[in-house]
Amino acid sequence: MSAQAAVGVDLGGTNLKVALVDGKGKILGQRTLAVEASGGPRRAVADACDAIDRLLAEQSLTCGDLVGVGIGAPGPISYREARIIHAANLPGWQDVDLCTPVSKRLGTQVAFDNDGNAAAYGEYWAGAGRGTDGMVMLTLGTGVGAGVILDGQILHGHFDNAGELGHMIVVPDGLPCACGQAGCLEQYASASAVARRVIAAVEAGEACVLSTQVGGRSAVDARRVAEAARGGDALCLRIWDEACLYLAVACINIQHAYNPECIVVGGGMSEAGAFLIDRVLEHSRRHRWCLHDDFPSVKLASLGYHAGVVGAAGLAWTRFGEAK
Amino acid sequence: MSAQAAVGVDLGGTNLKVALVDGKGKILGQRTLAVEASGGPRRAVADACDAIDRLLAEQSLTCGDLVGVGIGAPGPISYREARIIHAANLPGWQDVDLCTPVSKRLGTQVAFDNDGNAAAYGEYWAGAGRGTDGMVMLTLGTGVGAGVILDGQILHGHFDNAGELGHMIVVPDGLPCACGQAGCLEQYASASAVARRVIAAVEAGEACVLSTQVGGRSAVDARRVAEAARGGDALCLRIWDEACLYLAVACINIQHAYNPECIVVGGGMSEAGAFLIDRVLEHSRRHRWCLHDDFPSVKLASLGYHAGVVGAAGLAWTRFGEAK
């Protein structure tokens, strides 16, 4: 009998998502679990496998119906050795092999990649990038995650860490980044950065319709900044527009680096839809070169928060699907 | 009998270089011809083929001893269709197929790519990048040419124009570039840009040991700027150092984009040797991230002005070498 589903696992700093996904990228069932970082990888693997068992039972399937499991994990990872090198948001998780224990417990093959690549693969395989020969994904969330697909393959590079485009320097000697660099894209264009910059400006005395909300910091987020910018607030508009400008610079640099067919933009910032994309395209046009008509299309992601699990499952379908 | 040599052709705006190259990248013989742009592609093909005939005769070889011909041409090109789309420095050369007439005249297979990619392939195949699984080359000359090799393959991208890294924006809203963008790497780090910036500063009244030479503009070039900077001239040092800073930013962005094993730097600027590379590395270290030890090695090119012909011949050896 042919395989019915693949499992996608998306490991984050606080949540672990597990989904059963069919060969066309449709989610048949899913669970979101809290990650108990202190329980270590062993606990996370056990919890994930228990959840997979329940998802299979709900669909009247068994492990024998699985084409395989795909895991997306926070980097840096070693792709070649299929291990997490160290997960910044999971204290104590160093040099972790998740694949072997999952494979033993479920009796399936396991594909492994980092979370940014898994999300990009999701959009390529079953989302906004479907049908292209290559695409770059930018996920504008807490940071800026990214993944690069060229000719249908995820780009890993010599050190397994290609496509870390959130740390592209767009402002030499610009805002400091926790990574050690200065002026990284994610200091200007992540959802967190946009909120953080508005808060800092208000605290420095600038007028803003969100100023009364700055006391309780969590109340200011990228969604509210976008709303206030749309409503004409000068400070929010300036910071939103700067994010769009630096995203345009990033898109132009991506154009020249990879010449991809399209760039897919996801994450919290992308909830603003056309208010994000149209402004990015406007800045791109103003700065764009005239030597060749090779600017990629820039699209909103279509899988939302499911890109990671769908992409992880897609890795399993692509790698193991033909073997069954 | 097995093939003895491949022909490399490097077409530029003023010169056309032709070389006979053995399977290890050694040049057996070469000619540099003037390109008569007004004679059109037909004249250039005839001249090149005549030169190839003479080179073969000198080595007591015939066309039957050739594995093939490789051509590097100024872009933008269509790689898929093996045509020049339009050559900026060769007026009237639009939609040009050089491969068919060369193939007919010599009775050999012909490989085709743009000049930046051919030079990069030269350094990868027989120069400073030999033995790596991938590398990026930056040629700092009149502009900044570039080429990207990943897993042994030249990266072309969806629009055949990947790796145009001279037009990576390193200074948003920076110096205008003829390409239509602003703040391109080649406005700061090409040999021409460094000379141009010193001349502009002297004309604006800044003190400089080269000021007496600025009248005859051609007398100020990147080599003289490097010498003056080494000698302690403040203006030359500032502009040289800015070139190195933006090259460092470019290297960091290349690191995150492709994660290549090495970056090879060639062209006029690279004649300064350690005075270029050491300063680039110094800026890179100061700006480098701490999340993963994946900074590529940065090396001087080793083939000099021959990278283009050697690389073009290398394309022919790689593509057709096994077929013989």
Provide the pLDDT confidence category of residue A324 given band limits of 50, 70 and 90.
very low
Residue whose tokens read 């080179």 = B55
For residue B53, the cross-strand partners are none
Taking an 8 Å cut-off on Cβ atoms, the answer to whether A287 and B181 are in contact is yes
Q: Do B161 and A259 touch (CB under 8 A)?
A: yes
Say if CB B284 and CB B251 are below 8 A apart.
yes
Window 216-255 of B: residues touching A by CB (8 A cutoff) are 245-246, 249, 252-253
User: For residue A292, what pLDDT is reported?
Assistant: 84
Choose the mutation target among A291, A297, A298 for the interface with B, i.e. most B CBs under 10 Å.
Answer: A291
Q: Considering Cα of B137, then B140, then B144, then B145, what sign does the dihedral take?
A: negative
Confidence at residue B323, expressed as pLDDT on a 0 to 100 scale: 47
Which H or E element spans position B286? helix B274-287
Per the prediction, chain B carries an average pLDDT of 94
Rounded Cα gap, residues A260 and B160, in angstroms: 10
ipTM of the complex as predicted? 0.95
What are the catalytic residues of B?
115
The confidence score (pLDDT) of residue A323 equals 47
Q: Beta partners for B149?
A: B135, B154
Question: What are the sequence ranges of the domains in chain A?
Answer: 5-123+305-320, 131-301
User: What is the distance between the alpha carbons of residues B162 and A5, in angstroms, rounded to a whole number?
Assistant: 36
* Closest to A36 in 3D by CA, of A25, A20, A24, A47: A47
The CATH H-level (homologous superfamily) assignment of domain B132-302 is: ATPase, nucleotide binding domain (3.30.420.40)
Pinpoint the alpha helices (H) of B29-82.
Answer: 40-58
Whose CA is closest to A148, among A161, A132, A167, A135? Answer: A135
B153–chain A Cβ distance below 8 A for any pair: no
Which residue type, as a one-letter code, is found at position A154? I
* Count of residues making up chain B: 324
Interstrand relation of A77-78 and A83-86 (parallel, antiparallel or unpaired): antiparallel
User: Cβ(B123)–Cβ(B135) under 8 Å?
Assistant: yes
Inter-chain CB proximity B289 and A162 less than 8 Å = no
Average the pLDDT over each of A296-300, A318-322, B182-186 and give the range with the smallest value: A318-322
Comparing CA positions, the residue from A65, A72, A73 lying closest to residue A22 is A65
- A16-A18-A22 Cα angle (round to 5): 155
Q: Is 60 exceeded by the pLDDT of residue B1?
A: no
Cβ distance A150 to B157 less than 8 Å, yes or no, reads yes
Over residues A206-233, the mean pLDDT reads 89
In chain B, which among 253-272 make CB contacts under 8 A with chain A? Answer: 253, 256-261
Q: Is the CB of A180 less than 8 angstroms away from the CB of B290?
A: yes
* Relative orientation angle of helices B307-320 and B115-126, to the nearest 10 degrees: 80
Half-sphere exposure of B279 (CA within 13 A, CB side): 22
The model's pLDDT over A73-115, given as tens digits with 9 standing for 90+, comes to 987 899 999 999 988 778 888 999 999 999 999 999 999 999 9
**pLDDT given at position B39:** 87
Contact status, residue B30 vs residue B304, Cβ threshold 8 Å: no
Name the residue of chain A whose CA is nearest to B171's CA.
Answer: A171
- Output the CA–CA distances (angstroms, integers) from residue A283 to A127, B173, B263, in the order listed: 25, 11, 30
The angle, 0 to 180 degrees and rounded to 10, between the axes of the packed helices A222-230 and A274-287 is 70
Question: Among the ranges A211-220, B129-138, B290-299, which has the highest mean pLDDT value?
Answer: B129-138
pLDDT at res. A217 = 56
Going by pLDDT thresholds of 50, 70 and 90, the confidence category of residue B13 is: confident
Using CA atoms, how far apart are residues B302 and B126, in angstroms rounded to an integer?
Answer: 9
The minimal CB distance from B258 to the residues A162, A253, A291 is found for: A162
Q: Is A13 exposed, middle or buried (0-12, 13-18, 19+ CB in 10 A)?
A: middle
Mean pLDDT to the nearest integer, B67-72:
97
Average pLDDT over residues A217-243: 94
A294 pLDDT tier (thresholds 50, 70, 90): very high
Domain spanning A5-123+305-320 has what CATH number?
Answer: 3.30.420.40
Minimal C-alpha gap between B166 and chain A (Å): 9
B256/A164 CB distance under 8 A: yes
Give the orientation angle of helix A99-106 with respect to helix A40-58, to 10 degrees: 40
Q: b or e along A257-268 (b: 16 or more beta carbons within 10 Å of the residue's beta carbon)?
A: bbbbbbbbbbbb
On the question of pLDDT at A146 being above 50, the answer is: yes
pLDDT value of residue B219: 83
CATH fold group of domain A131-301: Nucleotidyltransferase; domain 5 (3.30.420)
- The arithmetic mean of pLDDT across residues B203-232, rounded, is 89
Q: What is the pLDDT of residues B300-323, one digit of tens each?
A: 999 999 999 999 999 999 999 964
pLDDT score of A90: 85
Render pLDDT for B244-283 as a digit per residue (tens, 0 to 9): 999 999 999 999 999 999 999 999 999 999 999 999 999 9
CA distance B100 to chain A (A): 24
Strand partners, A17: A10, A32
B270, B276 in Cβ contact below 8 A? Answer: yes
Q: For A22-73, where are the E strands, in sequence order?
A: 27-34, 66-73
Cα–Cα distance measured from residue A30 to residue B62, given in angstroms and rounded to the nearest whole number: 68
How many Å apart are CA A80 and CA A83, to the nearest integer?
A: 8
| Nearest Cβ partner for A291 among B76, B155, B169 | B76
- Using the predicted structure, report yes or no on whether residue A201 has a pLDDT greater than 70: yes
Read off the pLDDT band of B37 (50, 70, 90): confident
pTM > 0.90: yes
